């Protein structure tokens, strides 16, 4: 399979020119090592993986000898498997002012982040990678929105095909794991079964000390069923047959693995009666679909949960944009005790942009009424949009427009 360019490449290379070490974290199999190998091609950079038992044993036993044999500049994959290297990397960083000597990847874990932070503080830049986005799969990795105006999206739409619900739900159902790009439905099921057994369950036991493996499997499926919902640990635990306390701990585990993320509610002193509970989303909707036993695109698209999956997909695509883009962006949602809600609030350049997410091609205008709530925040309000199945961007009123899902 040909290499698929990633949106993170630009930011990674910029960080590599500024920091002595750069680490890319993220869930297993999202393409961290593949991207760095592609960027290191023909550069003379040594590439080693700690998945090799002999190399890992040397790295742990004698880090000094390891770096005599594998000299910088170097790319080290799955560095969390050889934590003894981090202290030696610190010493080597202090011996030279050269930038980008150490390129590291690590499956995101609490232990790795703490070790890297403790050993390499001030010397390392840390970036997070997700599975493939729709833009990356379409060959438009560098086309990350930094202007959320109607005119900007009209211009961008000239380089994209018309929005199509079948294409959108194919992406939702299939997910974005690079190894699965060319797989059919049967092979995808086999891949996800292997992924859960070989990575998620093993990491749960080895890295997080979880011994109730059957309970954790149930918890994975329960988490998928709660995707897009307000996070209630007692309800989630009950669905998995574990306590609320255990559910809270296991949510942290799934976050540290890069499997789920929590979208925090928008907070503002001027707005009253806001809830303070986050929402749970999956980083990859393909895994979420598999865990909920959706066996095809059409079954998912026509099922009762299709709206929840579209919301999860949109929020996860926006999360990728926020992580990979040049500008600092905050993502939140709004809900108050009167059940008034805004699906997504994007804060950028001091302005708030409100978004609703709807499966319809021609959503009703009344759904944007809640956008006016943000005026009470005392903040500057930018253009808002209804992210939906409209074929092209189209104005709703002077400050709101229909935004096709495929333009995110």
Question: Each residue of 11-31: pLDDT tens digit?
Answer: 999 999 999 999 999 999 999
- Locate CATH 3.40.50.300 in the chain: 9-129
Which pLDDT score is estimated for 205?
86
Mean residue pLDDT of the chain comes to 94
Q: What is the mean pLDDT of residues 378-397?
A: 96
Which pLDDT score is estimated for 110?
66
Residue 311, pLDDT above cutoff 70: yes
Question: Which single residue is written with the structure tokens 């302005």?
Answer: 351
Which pLDDT score is estimated for 339?
86
Residue 273 pLDDT grade (very low, low, confident, very high; cuts 50, 70, 90): low
Per residue in 72-115, pLDDT (tens digit) is: 999 999 998 899 999 999 999 999 999 999 999 998 666 676 77
pTM: 0.95
* 105 closest CA partner among 122, 139, 128: 128
User: Residue 329 in contact with residue 352, Cβ under 8 Å?
Assistant: no
Per residue in 278-301, pLDDT (tens digit) is: 999 999 999 999 999 999 999 999
Question: Greater confidence, 108 or 119?
Answer: 119
Question: Roughly what angle, to the nearest 10 degrees, separates helices 84-95 and 53-61?
Answer: 70
Question: Greater confidence, 308 or 272?
Answer: 308
Residue 209 pLDDT grade (very low, low, confident, very high; cuts 50, 70, 90): confident
Element (H, E) at 400: strand 400-404
* CA separation for the pair 172, 169 (Å, rounded): 5
**Which CATH code, of 3.40.250.10, 3.40.50.300, 3.30.1330.20, 3.40.190.10, is assigned to 9-129?**
3.40.50.300
Residue 120, pLDDT above cutoff 90: no
Helices (H), 196-243: 202-206, 213-225, 233-240
* CA separation for the pair 182, 202 (Å, rounded): 26
Which pLDDT score is estimated for 232?
97
Per residue in 166-197, pLDDT (tens digit) is: 999 999 999 999 999 989 999 999 999 999 99
- Residues ≥6 apart with Cβ < 8 Å to 296: 173, 185
Which pLDDT score is estimated for 207?
80
Per residue in 338-367, pLDDT (tens digit) is: 889 999 999 999 999 999 999 999 999 999
* CA separation for the pair 395, 300 (Å, rounded): 30
Q: What is the mean pLDDT of residues 303-332?
A: 96
> What b-and-e string marks burial along 312-329, b requiring 16 or more CB atoms within 10 Å of the CB?
bbbbbbbbbbbbbbeeeb
Per residue in 124-178, pLDDT (tens digit) is: 999 999 999 999 999 999 999 989 999 999 999 999 999 999 999 999 999 999 9
Residue 270, pLDDT above cutoff 80: no
Question: Which single residue is written with the structure tokens 């360019």?
Answer: 5
Residue 318, pLDDT above cutoff 90: yes
User: Residue 355 in contact with residue 384, Cβ under 8 Å?
Assistant: yes
* CA separation for the pair 90, 116 (Å, rounded): 10
Per residue in 40-84, pLDDT (tens digit) is: 998 899 999 999 999 999 999 999 999 999 999 999 999 988 999
Which pLDDT score is estimated for 109?
65
Residue 274, pLDDT above cutoff 80: no
């Amino acid at each position: 399979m040909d290499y698929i360019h990633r949106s993170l490449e630009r930011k990674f290379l910029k960080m590599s020119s500024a920091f002595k070490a750069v680490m890319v974290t993220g869930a297993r199999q999202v393409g961290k090592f593949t991207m760095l190998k592609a960027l290191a091609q023909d550069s003379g950079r040594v590439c080693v993986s700690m998945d090799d038992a002999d190399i890992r044993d040397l790295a742990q036993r004698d880090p000094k000898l390891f770096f005599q044999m594998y000299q910088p500049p170097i790319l080290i994959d799955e560095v969390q498997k050889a934590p003894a290297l981090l202290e030696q990397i610190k010493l080597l960083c202090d011996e030279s002012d050269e930038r980008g000597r150490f390129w590291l990847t690590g499956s995101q874990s609490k232990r790795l982040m703490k070790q890297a932070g403790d050993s390499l503080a001030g010397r390392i830049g840390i970036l997070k990678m997700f599975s493939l986005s729709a833009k990356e799969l379409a060959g438009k990795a560098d086309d990350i929105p930094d202007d959320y105006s109607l005119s900007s999206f009209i211009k961008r739409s000239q380089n994209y095909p018309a929005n199509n619900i079948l294409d959108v739900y194919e992406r939702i159902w299939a997910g974005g794991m690079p190894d699965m790009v060319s797989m059919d439905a049967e092979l995808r099921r086999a891949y996800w079964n292997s992924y859960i057994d070989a990575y998620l369950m093993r990491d749960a036991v080895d890295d997080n000390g979880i011994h109730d493996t059957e309970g954790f499997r149930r918890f994975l499926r329960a988490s998928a069923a709660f995707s897009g919902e307000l996070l209630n640990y007692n309800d989630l635990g009950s669905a998995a047959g574990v306590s609320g306390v255990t559910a809270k701990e296991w949510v942290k585990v799934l976050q540290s693995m890069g499997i789920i993320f929590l979208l925090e509610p928008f907070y503002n002193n001027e707005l009253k009666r806001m809830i303070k509970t986050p929402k749970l989303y999956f980083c990859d909707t393909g895994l979420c679909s598999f865990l909920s036993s959706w066996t095809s695109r059409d079954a998912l698209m026509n099922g009762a949960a299709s709206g929840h999956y579209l919301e999860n997909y949109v929020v996860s695509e926006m999360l990728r944009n926020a992580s990979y883009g040049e500008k600092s962006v905050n993502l939140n949602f709004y809900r108050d005790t009167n059940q008034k809600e805004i699906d997504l609030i994007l804060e950028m350049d001091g302005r708030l942009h409100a978004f609703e997410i709807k499966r319809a091609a021609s959503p009703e205008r009344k759904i944007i009424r809640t956008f006016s709530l943000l005026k009470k925040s005392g903040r500057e309000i930018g253009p808002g949009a209804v992210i939906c199945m409209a074929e092209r961007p189209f104005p709703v009123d002077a400050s709101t427009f229909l935004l096709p899902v495929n333009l995110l």
